[in-house]
């Protein structure tokens, strides 16, 4: 009994410290409401919202270019960054991840580790963080070995080379999160190598024994915490997803180690889990989405290696802590088993209880024996979890869906949003797609 009481007491104290009630949390925010970039969200609905609501089944709408942030401009296209994390409380989605390796804006000297937010109701970009100033950045290492500014605030300098499926949103604590996954800082032409050596950082500057990076929308700033106990290492092209029912972040290291972890934000602790069943047979760079109804995380289309099985579509069952070889009927992408974040956008369509795969780029160069289906494979493929089957043929989509799309599903509007732009270019437009209007009562969260 005494052990249970002590454990409970420690949990209460840890939670209080996390919230700043014991002085162990983050300092009080000194910014005014108007200085916090996302304080005005959600916006009042613009006229485009009625157009989206009126969309018939299997219809696309080109909303044009979102309005630019008044100071920092537009969100740019990013390769291998298919997933935009949607924040239901803000009615907005986060765009994060580098595009062209080691790229920075030569006009304002800001590196492409910026964080942009697409305001759905306002059809505009808001710059939550403009990226690292490559000319004037001066950092130091704190006691945890994290790079911090003069005020001791962690700064995410070139922490994620692309977005992949490594971004998510904690709707309970209202924080955008990402897992560090390497950068282009080691490449020739990168702006931070020599500077980092000057403040004691060697290599790519990836933190160790750390929480996920997060951006607190209420405070308008980044943070990173040292965790007690074991923690996963950094890695490229992995999968993370915040699970609202568990109030934890799921993280799958698909490359070296092939480990599954959960991060508990309130306890600031990682726990490694060992799922039952056969793990996905493919490697890094898989597409992913969370099935809210069945509490599953679908993963598919990864490579290095490409799946040698007849299909490349797996799931992690959260409730049973098990990998499931779904063995679905049918084959998406006309049999191509490479449909990760640079080839497709994978969303769970909660209004219809389906997985919608927007396959925009066919496989031009086969990898590990993967087939080359050609341009006729472009289109929308739909997976029905109840029937465990894929649609046989793709639904057509506009020719304009190309270059470097990033997207998300908005359950309020029952619509898929796709931002299309050149890699690191600010020439983007926003498309909207509705698969079906959905069955009454389905899709509520």
- 280-291: per-residue pLDDT in tens? 999 999 999 999
Return d(Cα 36, Cα 29) in angstroms, integer.
10
Q: In which band, very low, low, confident or very high, does the pLDDT at 143 lie, cut at 50, 70 and 90?
A: very high
Strand-pairing partners, residue 325, are 314
pLDDT at residue 336, rounded to an integer: 92
pLDDT at residue 212, rounded to an integer: 97
pLDDT at residue 188, rounded to an integer: 58
pLDDT at residue 378, rounded to an integer: 94
> pLDDT tens, 200-218?
887 778 899 999 999 999 9
**Two structure tokens written together for 339:** 């449909």
Q: In which band, very low, low, confident or very high, does the pLDDT at 3 lie, cut at 50, 70 and 90?
A: very low
CB atoms within 10 A of CB 365: 7
**Two structure tokens written together for 313:** 């579509």
Would the pLDDT of 330 be above 90? yes
Average the pLDDT over each of 174-178, 367-371, 380-384, 439-443 and give the range with the smallest value: 439-443
Average pLDDT over residues 108-135: 97
Burial class, 17, CB count within 10 angstroms (exposed 0-12 / middle 13-18 / buried 19+): middle
CB atoms within 10 A of CB 61: 17
Q: Does the reported pTM lie above 0.75?
A: yes
pLDDT at residue 392, rounded to an integer: 86
pLDDT at residue 87, rounded to an integer: 98
> pLDDT tens, 373-422?
888 899 999 999 999 999 989 999 999 898 899 999 999 999 999 999 99
Return d(Cα 272, Cα 142) in angstroms, integer.
27
Would the pLDDT of 95 be above 80? yes
Residue with more model confidence, 119 or 187:
119
Residue with more model confidence, 17 or 433:
433
pLDDT at residue 2, rounded to an integer: 33
- State the DSSP code for 195: H
**Do the beta carbons of residue 312 and residue 300 sit within 8 Å?**
yes
**Do the beta carbons of residue 88 and residue 445 sit within 8 Å?**
yes
Return d(Cα 238, Cα 220) in angstroms, integer.
26
The mean of the pLDDT values for the chain is: 89
**Do the beta carbons of residue 417 and residue 410 sit within 8 Å?**
yes
pLDDT at residue 24, rounded to an integer: 34
pLDDT at residue 312, rounded to an integer: 96
pLDDT at residue 13, rounded to an integer: 32
């Amino acid at each position: 009994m005494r052990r249970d009481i002590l454990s409970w007491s420690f949990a209460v104290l840890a939670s209080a410290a996390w919230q700043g009630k014991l002085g162990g949390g983050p300092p009080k925010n000194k910014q005014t409401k108007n200085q916090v970039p996302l304080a005005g969200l959600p916006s009042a609905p613009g006229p485009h919202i009625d157009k989206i609501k009126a969309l018939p089944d299997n219809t696309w709408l080109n909303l044009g270019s979102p309005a630019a942030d008044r100071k920092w401009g537009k969100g740019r296209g990013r390769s291998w960054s298919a997933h935009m994390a949607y924040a239901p409380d803000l009615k907005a989605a986060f765009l994060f991840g580098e595009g062209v390796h080691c790229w920075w804006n030569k006009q304002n000297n800001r590196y492409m580790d910026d964080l942009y937010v697409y305001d759905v109701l306002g059809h505009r970009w808001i710059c939550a963080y403009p990226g690292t100033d490559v000319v004037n950045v001066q950092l130091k290492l704190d006691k945890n070995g994290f790079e911090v500014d003069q005020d001791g605030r962690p700064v995410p300098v070139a922490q994620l080379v692309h977005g992949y499926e490594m971004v998510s949103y904690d709707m309970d604590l209202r924080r955008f999160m990402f897992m560090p996954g390497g950068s282009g800082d080691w490449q020739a032409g990168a702006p931070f190598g020599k500077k980092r050596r000057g403040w004691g950082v060697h290599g790519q500057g990836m933190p160790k024994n750390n929480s996920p990076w997060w951006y607190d929308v209420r405070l308008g700033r980044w943070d990173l915490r040292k965790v007690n106990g074991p923690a996963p290492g950094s890695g490229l092209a992995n999968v993370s997803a915040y699970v609202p029912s568990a109030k934890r972040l799921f993280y799958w290291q698909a490359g070296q180690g092939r480990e599954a972890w959960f991060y508990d934000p309130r306890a600031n602790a990682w726990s490694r889990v060992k799922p039952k069943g056969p793990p996905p047979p493919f490697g890094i760079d898989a597409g992913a989405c969370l099935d809210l109804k069945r509490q599953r995380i679908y993963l598919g289309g990864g490579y290095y290696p490409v799946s040698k099985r007849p299909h490349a579509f797996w799931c992690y069952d959260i409730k049973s802590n098990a990998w499931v070889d779904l063995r679905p009927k049918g084959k998406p992408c006309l049999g191509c088993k490479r449909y990760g974040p640079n080839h497709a956008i994978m969303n769970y369509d909660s209004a219809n209880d389906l997985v919608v795969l927007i396959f925009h780029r066919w496989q031009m160069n086969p990898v590990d024996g993967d087939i080359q289906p050609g341009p006729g494979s472009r289109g929308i493929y739909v997976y029905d979890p109840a029937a465990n089957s894929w649609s046989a043929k793709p639904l057509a989509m506009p020719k304009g869906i190309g270059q470097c799309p990033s997207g998300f599903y908005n359950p309020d509007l029952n619509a898929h949003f796709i931002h299309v732009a050149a890699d690191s270019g600010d020439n983007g437009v926003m498309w909207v797609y509705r698969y079906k209007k959905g069955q009454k009562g389905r899709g509520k969260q």
